[in-house]
Every structure is written in C-alpha cells, then in structure tokens.
Amino acid sequence: MLSNLADSLYEELIDIRRHLHMHPELSFQEEKTPQYIADYLTALGIEVETGVGGRGVVGRMIKDPDLPTLAIRADFDALPIQDEKEVPYQSTVPGVMHACGHDAHTAVLLITAKILSEHREQLNGNVVFIHQHAEEVDPGGAIQMVADNCLRGVDAIIGQHVSSSIPVGTVGYRYGTVTGIPDDFWITLQGKGGHAAHPDTTLDPVAAGIRLCNDLQYIVSRKTNPTTPAVLSITMFQAGDQTNVIPDTAKIGGTIRTFDTATQQHMIDELKKCLDGLVTTTGVTYDLKYLKGYPPVVNTKNETDLIISAAEKIDSVESLVEIEPALGGEDFSYYLERVPGAFFYTGTKNEHLKADFPHHHPKFDIDEKGMLNAVKIFLQATEDFFEGGVR
C-alpha cells in the first residue's frame, strides 16, 4: 500500500504547507504559487503544463494512454483577510491569508504526486494532477481550466477539502449533492436626496432600502417551499456620510444560496418582484447586478464508493461520517459536469491547537496531522481505481 509511505514525508508536507501559508496570493493574481508548484512537479519528472486556463498548473503522469486515467485536484488561491494567528508561519503579506486551507490542499497534492511519481512503475494507470487557481472568486478557475482541456483523457476525478468543523481522524463523505449554488447580487437604489429635516421633499433611498431588506426576507419565509432549502442574506448596506443629509443613493449587496436551478430561478424572480414593487410604493428606481454562482457539486456513486473504501483501509482514519449538504459553493462542480468523481472532507479540527476557527476567519488554522489522511486517501484511492476496485 503506497499510503503507508505518507508518514515518512510528514515533515516535508508541513514545510510545503507553511511556505505557502506565509506567501499567499489572491485569486487571479497568483504568480509565485503556480511557479512553485510547476518547479516541484518538474523536479519529480512529471510533464507540466503552466498557464492552464490562465494561471492553473497541470501535471501529467501518463504511463499508457490506453490505461485508465484518474485526475486529482487541489486549489491554491488565498483570501483578502488579515492573518491574526500568532504562529511562526503567519502570512507575510498584509491583508492576505490562506483562511480556507488551500495551502494544505496544494501541499497534500504535491506530496501525493511525489509518492506516486516515485512508484509509477507499480501503477496500472495514468494520473493527472490539477492545481487550480481562483476557486474563491467568480467565475473561478475550474471553468477556465476545463475549457483549456485540463481533463483531456481523464476518466474520473477526486478532490478534497480540509475542514475545521470535523475532528482530525474523521473523514466526511456524501453521495449526490454536496454543495449549493452561491449567487451574488448588488442593488443600487436611486432616489433624490435632501435635508434630513424635510424628508417629504426627497425620495429617500435609505428608507426604501430598509424596506427592501425586510421584504426580501419574506421570500424565504413565505414564498419558498419550506422543504426546499434556500438562503437570502443581506451582507452590505452603504448609504450617506452625514447625519443631516438624506443621500441620493443606497447600495445593497448580498447572496442567494440554493441547491437546484428551479429554486434559484424562483428566488431571482421574487427578488425582481420586490424591486418592482419598491419602485411603485416609494418612487425610487433601481439597478440590479446579479451573478449566478457555481453549479452544485454532485458526487457520483462509484467514485464516492471509491473514497469510502480507500478511507476504510487507512488506520489513522478513525471514523467516516456522511455529511449534510451545505449551501457553500465550490467550483469542483465544473469538473463533475464533464467526468464522474467525488469530493470529500478531511477533518483538521483540534481545539487544543486553536484549529477550530471557521473557514474565512482571521484566525483560521488546521491540525496539520489531518493532511496525512488526505494524502493517504488519495494514494489508496488511486491504487484501487487502477486495480478496478469499486469502479
């Protein structure tokens, strides 16, 4: 079992993750990270393609094109968040940090590539290592990499996400739908400003915006099937800068999360109805910018079985749990629209190490031992896939 070799590379796994953590790069601005990845893969004797879909990196270890080919994916972009952890590997870039674990994803895949490359003669198939840029920002890097043919010759794909809500030693899986559709919207309300002492002479966009925010919550509570999950959150409200002046405009932003396109369209339609009604009752006008997010991640059965079977063979995996679908977005979905595959979650939570803050938090961190389980599952799943196990 190649998975048994992962422990010997634990220190290197940590070193890679901490190097990347100290040198994060934002989505669509990644330069040094893809170069680091390309150099590492090249040193392993793996064929490397750079600039895939813009800034992505693909390593191809092709033994025989007629043999089955498995792709493994990791993302490597960071977030515009100030790192508040007091650790030696704190981000060195002001206002930018790996607050979602993409540094760990990259380290896991690089060590997986190292072990597989050193034992390529034992493999009865081909492996494609997909290192993706810009997962955090629409339109995302996956759709661009797919368009640039990163899945050429691929029969199936697997990927994982570290999770600060799952304890180390636990692996989360799910058949079928795993994530939601994360849409974003921005609304500008145009009114007519004036003196705050004479609101009757204005078209107050602030008052109209407050009403709109309340009306929008009515969509989920009273106009959506209660058995169909949907979320509408207002996350931005910007208006005015003086206490005695009613401004001309108010800007509102937020997100709508759903699991299926029918519910998504229903939410969009109701949002527009609320806006049109606001025009009628208040006299303000509006401009709406609506951005549809990634499709849902939908795992296929055979590949989910593959992950479960692999995890059951790893001694350090203490438990497997079937997770509930979440309304967060993940552009791994674009790969699954082309080939079958599975996306799973690796536990990295450890309260004693302060590795229990939520993702996208300034103090987000992981118990790095959890990364070993991800490496081991990737290795075991690769071997099983080539041997025809659970296919």
Final residue belonging to a domain, choices 291, 325, 344: 291
Statement to judge: residues 39 and 158 lie in one domain: yes
User: What percent of the chain has pLDDT above 90?
Assistant: 99
Statement to judge: residues 108 and 60 lie in one domain: yes
Statement to judge: residues 277 and 353 lie in one domain: no
Query: How large is the average pLDDT for residues 203-209?
Result: 98
Does residue 49 register a pLDDT over 70? yes
Final residue belonging to a domain, choices 272, 291, 310: 291
Statement to judge: residues 163 and 304 lie in one domain: yes
User: 390 falls in which pLDDT band (50, 70, 90)?
Assistant: very low
| pLDDT for residue 276 | 98
Statement to judge: residues 115 and 221 lie in one domain: no
Statement to judge: residues 120 and 261 lie in one domain: no
Statement to judge: residues 19 and 147 lie in one domain: yes
Query: How large is the average pLDDT for residues 34-59?
Result: 98
User: How open is the CA angle 64-70-72, to the nearest 5 degrees?
Assistant: 130
Statement to judge: residues 339 and 247 lie in one domain: no
| pLDDT for residue 364 | 98
391 within domain boundaries:
no
Supply the CATH number for residue 204's domain. 3.30.70.360
What gap in Å lies between CA 79 and CA 99, rounded to an integer?
6
pTM recorded for the entire structure: 0.93
Mean pLDDT of the chain: 97
Q: Residues forming the annotated binding site for Mn(2+)?
A: 100, 102, 136, 161, 360
Statement to judge: residues 157 and 192 lie in one domain: no
In total, the chain counts a number of residues equal to 391
Query: How large is the average pLDDT for residues 346-355?
Result: 97
What positions carry a catalytic annotation? Answer: 77, 135
Does residue 223 register a pLDDT over 60? yes
| pLDDT for residue 388 | 80
Statement to judge: residues 215 and 278 lie in one domain: yes
Does residue 391 register a pLDDT over 80? no
Residues 124-176 pLDDT 10s: 999 999 999 999 999 999 999 999 999 999 999 999 999 999 999 999 999 99
Domain that holds residue 267: 181-291
Statement to judge: residues 137 and 231 lie in one domain: no
Does residue 179 register a pLDDT over 80? yes
Q: Residues forming the annotated binding site?
A: 100, 102, 136, 161, 360
Split into its structural domains, the chain has a count of: 2
| pLDDT for residue 304 | 98
Final residue belonging to a domain, choices 260, 291, 322: 291
Residues 69-128 pLDDT 10s: 999 999 999 999 999 999 999 999 999 999 999 999 999 999 999 999 999 999 999 999
Statement to judge: residues 57 and 33 lie in one domain: yes
